Amino acid sequence: MNLRWRILGSSAAAAAVASAAVAIATERMLLDPHDRNVMLAVILGGFVMAVIVASALSRRLISDLEQMADTATRLADGDLTARTGVVRRDELGTTASEFDAMACQLEEAARRREAAEEERRLLVASISHDLRTPIAAIQAALEAVEDGIGDRQRLLASAQRDVSALTGLVDDLFLLAQLDAGRYEAPATVVDLAEVVDDAVEALLPTAAVAGVKLAVRTTGSRLVKGSDRELGRVVRNLLDNAIRHAPQGSDVRVDIGGEAGRHVRVRITDEGPGFDEQIIDIATEAFVRGDDSRNRATGGAGLGLSIAAGVVKAHGGALVLRPGPGGAVEMELPLLA
């Protein structure tokens, strides 16, 4: 209210100055009594109008300022949804608009921070689960060996498999960290992508046979790219392993090499399984995302495969594209060697 009284006081002061000027002019015979009365009436009428206008303007101005002050207090108390709601076509309106824009940015930043914190919790939980399971199995196997319970060779072989699983998980985490930090650089060696695919298919033939799935490859010759045959082979094996795991028994998993678009080569892997759900297809390449929450380490891995595959392909200047079901379909596109 202090501001309103200052505005009204300014109007009254202006009227008083005008009245004093009229009185001085009258005393010095510059105005006769009649003109003085008319002038005073005009001043009084102007004063009344000024008070009315100033009161109306100050009421809205003070209301908007109080609204902005209240919004600032709510933001300071942690209510990031607070907005001024002030709409004016003057400097105060511009300030209020910028204030609301700042509040929106604060709310969005808080939302991203909460999402990052949730991802961090899920990351820790996933890593803990995927590390705890093989460690517990190794401990149980070693205790059984120590106590002379069970087949010693079988227990040691089981422990060795779990150690290999742990080593693979640690290697995956290290590679993922490099990819996320942008520190992974693909080697500039010449790689025949067709040979990489053939080697991956040959390596997974026993897995496909156990699953009752047939692997079929179609290519039209060599496809030379720059990169790492080891990492590209790892990507292809991972994609093939996923396809075999989700393909129905007695069905085919097909690998097509070709489909050049400009100076790119495309490797397309398809299966007859349910395919990717449209609801997760946009996040399927994020770390620790599994298409089925019931999948565990034994059946679905740690959820790093697609994330690493997408990162490695991107580091090679290409892209990994997932197609929605029915039927699983993944495309890996890489630039051909010029």
Q: Which CATH architecture has domain 189-335?
A: 2-Layer Sandwich (3.30)
Please give the pLDDT value at position 29. Answer: 46
d(CA 28, CA 36) in angstroms, rounded, equals 12
**Token pair 């093939």: residue:** 240
Residue 336: pLDDT above 70?
Answer: yes
Instruction: In whole angstroms, give the CA distance from residue 308 to residue 84.
Output: 45
Report domain extents, the chain: 2-79, 126-181, 189-335
Mean pLDDT of 148-165: 84
> What is the number of residues in the chain?
338
* Residue 294: per-residue pLDDT: 35
pLDDT, tens digit (0-9, with 9 covering 90-100), for 270-293 = 888 887 777 666 656 665 554 444
Query: SS3 sequence, the chain?
Result: CHHHHHHHHHHHHHHHHHHHHHHHHHHCCCCCHHHHHHHHHHHHHHHHHHHHHHHHHHHHHHHHHHHHHHHHHHHHCCCCCCCCCCCCCCHHHHHHHHHHHHHHHHHHHHHHHHHHHHHHHHHHHHHHHHHHHHHHHHHHHHHHHHHCCCCHHHHHHHHHHHHHHHHHHHHHHHHHHHHHHCCCCCCCEEEEHHHHHHHHHHHHHHHHHHHCCEEEEECCCCCEEEECHHHHHHHHHHHHHHHHHHCCCCCEEEEEEECCCCCEEEEEEECCCCCECCCCCCCCCCCCCCCCCCCCHHHHCCCCHHHHHHHHHHHCCCEEEEEECCCCEEEEEEECCC
300-328: pLDDT as tens digits = 445 567 778 888 888 888 888 888 777 88
* pLDDT for residue 13 is more than 60: no
